[in-house]
Chain A
């Protein structure tokens, strides 16, 4: 069951307080949402695009699953990352070895639990915009982390009368970055082929209200044009076009 990031209390259109904003984004357990992610790397000529489900089944545990164009499930809990991909051995490592994951998980935890105190201790939080379209920029305070993670940006606005999170940007050192469209925007972003239009979704919000249940359908859609990633299961040496 999809549940967009909603809250019972509304947020006023007055000047935004980041603590209140984050508190308003809180999500009851278990939380689950779809996402569409685009990832850029200096090694890649064209960005990677994939989509899946983000879950927070209990406090301190995050599960990120990729559903399209291949299947992978990653569990982040207790300082450990455990990743499984079809046809590959399970991979496990300590969260401490991946600073960007630490940053990302911390911000997710904060947002989904509505508690910005821990976040405030580790990041500088800048607020931009108003209730209709706001941007929270998190800059790491610890130098070691700051070397790797340049910034995390959270875009959001109003969905109906509730505050909602639209996009999450991750800026990493070395010209790597990723952008995630969350919730209903995921399907819309997947459907949009124009890069600038997709980018505008974060600041402008959904062009039309997506009917309940449609994101699920969008996830299953195969008519979406994606960057050419081979779909699974793979036959060795035989590339399959999407």
Chain B
């Protein structure tokens, strides 16, 4: 029968087209609506204690996570300073950024809405700036200001704010620790870098928002460079010719790291994916000696992948990047199913019959994996739930399309793999001899010994090891943070009280001690809400101290004696003070829509689940901690102040979830056992299959432990996957029983599956990303034991033989 005249060929072609278009349509729909998130908090369980809740808040949205640190390098300090100023000008008002700071103090950053409150917010009036003497001094200075070139800036303010309280406020709001200033702009200690601090509007783990902010920064930098090149070109006849120094911009911070991670993941995914696909195609080509079969084998794979993605997108709306990566590694497992079908076909039967014949075993293998993953739906960790949905839907789809879809597209074969050389060779050498059982018992003993006696740490509690950011980038970030006085990411002081007013009052009461801590160099700087917003009590007290209209008028008249100001020049000032005497105290809600709002917001938090007199938290961000023990001792002397070690809190969180995941894995093991018993029907068969599987899993655990690799969540989840692979091999060998041809076909299939699985996961094990490395290593290490042990299974007498 020539293919050209085979009417079935047209049908098959049609089915393939149909399948492909369905895949393409679904794929397009999914990729259109899919959002990929990078929030590592999705891998953590829900927090229990107040400190853990705070940790989650800080990690996602806290002040530290929105901060980007910029460093300019590559030219003389003068040029760097100029570039820094130009960059800041270019970025003022950018919608992606909340504020940008480079050391220049800007008079017009006290927002309009807050200017009315200046006499309540500023300590000036309390220090006597509105007394007759204070006013006189101010007036004399303002007179000279009017004459000086600075009049351009001061003149608009003088009439309403002659004592320049707005200026005093701005000075009070500058951070207590600042980098070196050169010509008014921040420079690093070695004068090689100009430093800037930027706060983004988007949270640290919002990849699109951070991307937009980073793009804005880089564009502004390029624009400033272009402009300065233009100016240099114009002036080159005056300033000598020269070398155009290229100033480089370096960005550090959680947003930059997230971008780095995303780029790296994308890069690796495409490289590894490419290599893996090519390798698999070649392997299948070699194994089946046909060009079309490997391509057809890809159809169930693609279906599984796209179905898994679609299900996750529908169920959760977004997919975590790591879940995505993990999901696609599944394909290294799901490709087993079409391979089994292809290997078990032989001349004389049509594909439909073969599919029907192997379906029970296939279903048992896929089904038990799916049921095992069902447990993760209840693990209480959202990313694991996504993982579970992806895996279950993906594997089930791959299996079902193999059973029901592949027969439509597969022609009847003329090739029986049972006649290939390699399977015959292996069978003769290994399977047709009685292999003693004792090596297996020895293996079991060795595994038990390693597991029981090995003294490497079992668990990796360090959440930071989940990020693939290279150590030198983290180091650089720490250096920049130290230079800029940016807040520490690990330590935090927390003050708890019933409400905002109490928290502010307590902070003010602690002000002297806090200043002392800074003065004695225990900490370089402390930032807290009460620095920006005095408590209502303090504001009311200041209000009471403001002179009334008559007294202020008298003071003013005395101050203006002999000065050439007009009599009514300061009516606006008088009105402003009078207004300040009537204003209600400023609260955080009054700061909404001003730049201060975000600073205060991040320094004042509420914890709805805490007890009533600890509902409001004031955070004291620390920079440059020199003596943590002294700080801890100080915190211990106050009942409502806590020194929080975020790293340690994170570890306690990690330890908790470990317990939960272990329970889930144990439950999954039980489910696996039960589902196999149901599928195989006989307890004896069940045990026969489980022995190699259990031993194989034990080998992997022992190998990881022997390599001194501490286990993480991802190792555990991959272990379940690896066990699923082992179950698959064992079930097929068990099914083949003693039928020589079937044994050879199974050998063929298992060889292909194991080599391709090994290939894919060994490639993953080479990844820079710790998560992918964990997955790759675990599964790659499991392939060989599982293959060998299931081959050994084939040599032991089957149930049918024993009953004879």
For residue B5, CB closer than 8 A to chain A, the reply is no
Q: Which listed residue (B89, B144, B146, B147) contacts A43, Cβ 8 A?
A: B146
For residue B82, CB closer than 8 A to chain A, the reply is yes
B396 to chain A, nearest CB (A): 65
Q: Which listed residue (B85, B107, B155) contacts A41, Cβ 8 A?
A: B155
For residue B233, CB closer than 8 A to chain A, the reply is no
B319 to chain A, nearest CB (A): 47
A111 to chain B, nearest CB (A): 18
Query: Which residues of the other chain, A, contact B10 by a CB distance below 8 angstroms?
Result: none
Contact B107 A48 (CB under 8 A): no
Contact B150 A228 (CB under 8 A): no
Query: Which residues of the other chain, B, contact A237 by a CB distance below 8 angstroms?
Result: 132-133, 136-137
Contact B566 A98 (CB under 8 A): no
Nearest opposing residue in chain B for A228, CB measure = B562
Contact B153 A98 (CB under 8 A): yes
Contact A74 B564 (CB under 8 A): no
A88→B154 CA distance, assembly (Å): 15
Best-buried of A72, A80, A91 by chain B (most CB within 10 Å):
A91
Contact B107 A78 (CB under 8 A): no
Query: Which residues of the other chain, B, contact A92 by a CB distance below 8 angstroms?
Result: 184
A37→B147 CA distance, assembly (Å): 9
| Contact A45:B566 (CB < 8 A) given known A92-B184, A237-B133 | yes
Query: Which residues of the other chain, B, contact A119 by a CB distance below 8 angstroms?
Result: none
Contact B562 A234 (CB under 8 A): no
Contact B147 A48 (CB under 8 A): yes
A50→B149 CA distance, assembly (Å): 13
A234→B141 CA distance, assembly (Å): 10
Contact with B along A55-95 (1 / 0, CB 8 A): 00001000010100010101010101101010010011110
Q: Which listed residue (A46, A85, A100, A229) contacts B148, Cβ 8 A?
A: A85
Nearest opposing residue in chain B for A84, CB measure = B148
A94→B82 CA distance, assembly (Å): 11
B148 to chain A, nearest CB (A): 6
Contact with B along A161-195 (1 / 0, CB 8 A): 00000000000000010000000000000000000
Contact A45 B565 (CB under 8 A): yes
For residue B563, CB closer than 8 A to chain A, the reply is yes
Q: Which listed residue (A44, A80, A100) contacts B152, Cβ 8 A?
A: A100
B235 to chain A, nearest CB (A): 9
Contact with A along B150-168 (1 / 0, CB 8 A): 1111010011000000000
Query: Which residues of the other chain, B, contact A234 by a CB distance below 8 angstroms?
Result: 137, 140
Q: Which listed residue (A41, A78, A88, A101) contacts B82, Cβ 8 A?
A: A78
Query: Which residues of the other chain, B, contact A239 by a CB distance below 8 angstroms?
Result: 136, 140, 561-562
Give the contacts of B126-150 with A (CB-CB under 8 A): 132-133, 136-137, 140-141, 143-144, 146-150
For residue B243, CB closer than 8 A to chain A, the reply is no
Contact with A along B551-588 (1 / 0, CB 8 A): 00000000001111111010000000000000000000
Contact B149 A44 (CB under 8 A): no
Chain A residues bordering chain B, tally (CB within 8 A): 44
B158 to chain A, nearest CB (A): 7
Q: Which listed residue (A93, A100, A228) contacts B564, Cβ 8 A?
A: A228
B199 to chain A, nearest CB (A): 22
A39→B565 CA distance, assembly (Å): 13
B558 to chain A, nearest CB (A): 10
A228→B562 CA distance, assembly (Å): 7
| Contact A88:B141 (CB < 8 A) given known A45-B566, A45-B567, A93-B107 | yes
For residue A29, CB closer than 8 A to chain B, the reply is no
Contact with B along A139-173 (1 / 0, CB 8 A): 00000000000000000000000000000000000
| Contact A93:B153 (CB < 8 A) given known A45-B564, A48-B143 | yes
Contact with B along A98-117 (1 / 0, CB 8 A): 11110000000000000000
Give the contacts of A209-242 with B (CB-CB under 8 A): 227-230, 234, 236-237, 239, 241
Contact A94 B136 (CB under 8 A): no
For residue A97, CB closer than 8 A to chain B, the reply is yes
A186→B140 CA distance, assembly (Å): 25
Nearest opposing residue in chain A for B558, CB measure = A237
Chain B residues bordering chain A, tally (CB within 8 A): 35
Nearest opposing residue in chain A for B104, CB measure = A94
Query: Which residues of the other chain, B, contact A81 by a CB distance below 8 angstroms?
Result: 149-150
Q: Which listed residue (B82, B149, B152) contacts A99, Cβ 8 A?
A: B152
A47→B569 CA distance, assembly (Å): 14
For residue B238, CB closer than 8 A to chain A, the reply is yes
Contact B152 A228 (CB under 8 A): no
Q: Which listed residue (A44, A50, A91, A227) contacts B150, Cβ 8 A?
A: A91
Contact A83 B82 (CB under 8 A): no
Query: Which residues of the other chain, B, contact A70 by a CB distance below 8 angstroms?
Result: 144
For residue B645, CB closer than 8 A to chain A, the reply is no
Contact A66 B149 (CB under 8 A): no
Query: Which residues of the other chain, B, contact A80 by a CB distance below 8 angstroms?
Result: 183-184
Query: Which residues of the other chain, B, contact A100 by a CB distance below 8 angstroms?
Result: 152
Contact A94 B85 (CB under 8 A): yes
A76→B150 CA distance, assembly (Å): 11
Query: Which residues of the other chain, A, contact B143 by a CB distance below 8 angstroms?
Result: 48, 229
A91→B142 CA distance, assembly (Å): 13
| Contact A46:B153 (CB < 8 A) given known A78-B82, A229-B143 | no
Contact B152 A97 (CB under 8 A): yes
Contact A101 B152 (CB under 8 A): yes
| Contact A43:B149 (CB < 8 A) given known A70-B144, A228-B563, A241-B562 | no
Contact B153 A97 (CB under 8 A): yes
Query: Which residues of the other chain, A, contact B569 by a CB distance below 8 angstroms?
Result: 42-44
A186 to chain B, nearest CB (A): 15
B185 to chain A, nearest CB (A): 10
Query: Which residues of the other chain, A, contact B566 by a CB distance below 8 angstroms?
Result: 42-45
Best-buried of B133, B150, B155 by chain A (most CB within 10 Å):
B150
Contact A39 B564 (CB under 8 A): no
| Contact A41:B146 (CB < 8 A) given known A93-B107, A97-B152 | yes
Contact with A along B218-249 (1 / 0, CB 8 A): 00000000000000000000100000000000
Contact B565 A66 (CB under 8 A): no
24 A-B contacts (beta carbon < 8 Å): A39-B147, A39-B151, A41-B146, A41-B155, A43-B158, A43-B569, A44-B146, A44-B566, A47-B564, A48-B143, A74-B148, A83-B149, A85-B144, A97-B107, A97-B153, A100-B152, A228-B562, A228-B563, A234-B140, A236-B133, A236-B137, A237-B132, A237-B133, A239-B136
A interface residue numbers (CB < 8 A to B)? 37, 39, 41-48, 50, 59, 64, 66, 70, 72, 74, 76, 78, 80-81, 83, 85, 88, 91-94, 96-101, 176, 227-230, 234, 236-237, 239, 241
A-B contact sample (16 more), CB < 8 A, given A97-B153, A98-B152: A43-B159, A43-B566, A43-B569, A45-B567, A46-B564, A59-B238, A66-B147, A74-B149, A88-B141, A92-B184, A94-B85, A98-B153, A228-B562, A228-B564, A230-B562, A239-B562
Closest 6 CB pairs of A and B: A98-B152, A43-B569, A46-B564, A237-B133, A45-B566, A74-B149
